[in-house]
Structure 1
Amino acid sequence: MKIAIGSDHVGFELKPTIIDYLEELGHKVTDFGAKSSARVDYPDYSKKVAEAVLSEDFDRGILICGTGVGISIAANKIHGIRAVVCSEPYSAKLSKEHNNTNILALGSRVVGKELAKMIVDEWLEAEFEGGRHANRVEKIAKLEE
C-alpha cells in the first residue's frame, strides 16, 4: 500500500515511529512534512496529504498533530476526504469498515507509540464493507456538494 503521511511540529516526534513501522510492514511511505519540530500550521499538512490521497497516487493518508483533532478537521474540509481521529483501535477499524475513511489522524499527546501502531494496524487491515454503509457514505459525499 502507498501511504502519504504528514504532521505538524507537535506530531513530528511520533511520525518517524509510524513511518518506520509502516515500512517494516512493507508499505511505501511518502512524508509530506513537517520536516522538524519548528512551529508550523497543521492545515498546510492536512492539505498536502489530502491532495495526495485524492490524486490516487496514494491509497491512504495518515496525519499527526497534538490531539489529531485540528489536523483531521482541516483534512475534512477538502472535498472527497473522510478523515477520522482515533485514540483506540476499535474506532479505527470501524471507521474504515463503515465509513470508508481515507485518512487516519493520530494525536501524539494522546496515544503512545505502541498504541499508535495498534491503531494503524486495525485501520490498514480493515476493508470497507459496502452494503448498507455504501448508501451512508454516498450521503456524506452529497453533503459536500
Structure 2
Amino acid sequence: MRIVMASDHGGLELKDFIKSYLLGKGYDILDIGTNSEESVDYPDYGKNAGLKIMNGEADLGIIMCGSGIGISIAANKVKGIRAALCHDIYTARMCKQHNNANILAMGGRIIGKGLAIEMVETYLNTEFEGGRHQRRIDKIHKIEQEG
C-alpha cells in the first residue's frame, strides 16, 4: 500500500511526525510536501494529493493543514476523492467503514501527535463495510457526474 502525504505549513510538523512513524512501520510513503515552514497555499497540496490517488500513484492519502478544513475541501474537488476531516478515533474509523474515504484529513494545529497516530492506525486498519454504504457512495459518485 502506498500512502500519499501532503500538508501546508500549518500541518508540516504533524505530517513529518506521522510520516516518520509510518516509515518505521514499513509503509511506502509518497511525501508531496510541503517541506518547509514557509507559507504555502493548501489548495495546491490537497489537489495534488487527490490527483496522486486518482492517477494510481497512491492507494490512500493523509493530508493536513492548520485546521484540516481547507485542504480537505480542496482534495474533495478532485473527482473520485472522498477526503474526510476527522478529529478523533471514532470519525477516523467511520470515514473508512461507512464512507470508504480514500483520504484522511486532520488539523495540524488541532490534533496532538499521540491521537494522530491512533487515528491513522484506525483509519488504515479499518475495512469498508460495503452493503448499504456502497449504495450511498454510488449516490455521491452520481452527484459528481451530474455536477
What range is the shorter-chain TM-score in? Answer: over 0.9
Matches within 5 A, 1:27-66: 27-66=27-66
**Superimposed CA distance per residue, residues 56-81 of structure 1 (whole angstroms, 9 cap, x where no aligned partner):** 22110011111111100111111100
Question: Secondary structure of 2:63's match?
Answer: strand
User: Take 2:110 and 2:9, find their aligned partners in 1: how far apart are those partners?
Assistant: 15
**Superimposed CA distance per residue, residues 92-128 of structure 1 (whole angstroms, 9 cap, x where no aligned partner):** 1111010010001110111111110011011000111
2:11 is aligned to: 11
Question: Secondary structure of 1:13's match?
Answer: helix
Letter in 2 for 1:37: E
User: Take 1:92 and 1:70, find their aligned partners in 2: how far apart are those partners?
Assistant: 18
User: Take 1:97 and 1:15, find their aligned partners in 2: how far apart are those partners?
Assistant: 23
Question: Secondary structure of 1:5's match?
Answer: strand
User: Take 1:54 and 1:128, find their aligned partners in 2: how far apart are those partners?
Assistant: 18
So what's the TM-score if we normalise by structure 1? 0.97
Please report the RMSD computed on the Cα atoms of aligned residues, expressed in angstroms: 0.7
Question: Secondary structure of 2:6's match?
Answer: strand
User: Take 1:94 and 1:86, find their aligned partners in 2: how far apart are those partners?
Assistant: 9
Instruction: Please state how far the C-alpha of 1:14 moved relative to its aligned partner.
Output: 1.1
User: Take 1:111 and 1:92, find their aligned partners in 2: how far apart are those partners?
Assistant: 12
1:132 is aligned to: 132
Q: How many residues were matched structurally?
A: 145
User: Take 2:61 and 2:70, find their aligned partners in 1: how far apart are those partners?
Assistant: 15
For structure 2, the residue ranges without an aligned partner over 5 or more in a row are: none
2:144 is aligned to: 144
2:21 is aligned to: 21
User: Take 1:15 and 1:106, find their aligned partners in 2: how far apart are those partners?
Assistant: 9
Q: Which runs of 4+ in 1 moved over 6 A?
A: none
Instruction: Please state how far the C-alpha of 1:50 moved relative to its aligned partner.
Output: 0.5
Percent of pairs with identical residues: 50
